[in-house]
Amino acid sequence: MFEQLQEKPHNRTLKHRWWFSSSRAVFALLLAGATILVPGAPVATIVILLGAYALVDGAWTLCVGTLIRWPLWVLAGAIGVVAGGVALQHPDAKTATVLSVAAAWALLRGVTDAAGSMALRREIPDEWSLLAAAVVSILFGVLAIVFPTTDAIVVAKMIGIYALIEAVMVLQLTIRLFRFECAGRQPKQA
């Protein structure tokens, strides 16, 4: 079955992987809800949530990057898995460290999503959702680096707001990908 999936050129595109972006949006919403709705959560809880999100998102990105043959997504997925694993192994990390890891991961995620959005625009006209998610990631990363804080509540809120906006953008992408696939459109031939 896997061989058949890879033999067909149209199956190597993100537009046939709307389920990936939907799961990414759900996990981002869970992270946002947990960090925004639980004021004063211990830093360890924030680290575990962020680590779990990075691990799941990284694993999905690695798998989909491999399926659709986007090397930047393979790299981003691998880094997400490593970052998530490290975070889960060190829930006692300092708040500044958590914010630094989140910022670096968001910057990388933003760059790879921007590259992915350019490739996706060749197949889905006027696609902007993935690029918007990329901009949000890059903006969060830059803001977290420029305005570092050690206040656990502020860090939780920053991560939560970032995850919420990211979830909305990725959910928009999911809807567009699903509609495009349901319309039965074939990919453009190169």
Cβ-in-10-Å burial (0-12, 13-18, 19+) of 182 comes to: exposed
Q: By C-alpha distance, which of 71, 82, 57 is closest to 137?
A: 57
φ/ψ (deg, to 5) at 35: -85, -30
φ/ψ (deg, to 5) at 126: 60, 25
Residue 129's pLDDT is what?
86
Residue 138's pLDDT is what?
95
Tell me the mean pLDDT in the region 79-100: 83
Give the pLDDT band of residue 87 (cuts 50, 70, 90): confident
Handedness of CA 24, 29, 32, 34 (dihedral sign): negative
Give the pLDDT band of residue 3 (cuts 50, 70, 90): very low
Give the pLDDT band of residue 12 (cuts 50, 70, 90): low
Which comes out higher in pLDDT, residue 12 or 55? Answer: 55
Contact 110, 135 (CB under 8 A): yes
Average pLDDT, the chain: 80
Give the up-direction half-sphere exposure of residue 140: CA atoms within 13 A in the CB hemisphere: 31
Who's near 162: CB < 8 A, 6+ residues apart? 102, 106, 136, 137, 140
Who's near 20: CB < 8 A, 6+ residues apart? 14, 60, 64
User: Residue 150 to residues 33, 50, 94, 155: CA-CA distances in angstroms?
Assistant: 21, 16, 8, 7
- Does 147 have pLDDT greater than 90? no
Q: What is the pTM of this model?
A: 0.76
Give the pLDDT band of residue 190 (cuts 50, 70, 90): very low
Residue pLDDT, tens place only, 164-188: 998 998 898 888 888 877 776 554 5
- Does 15 have pLDDT greater than 50? yes
Residue pLDDT, tens place only, 93-141: 777 787 888 888 889 889 988 988 887 787 777 778 889 989 999 999 9
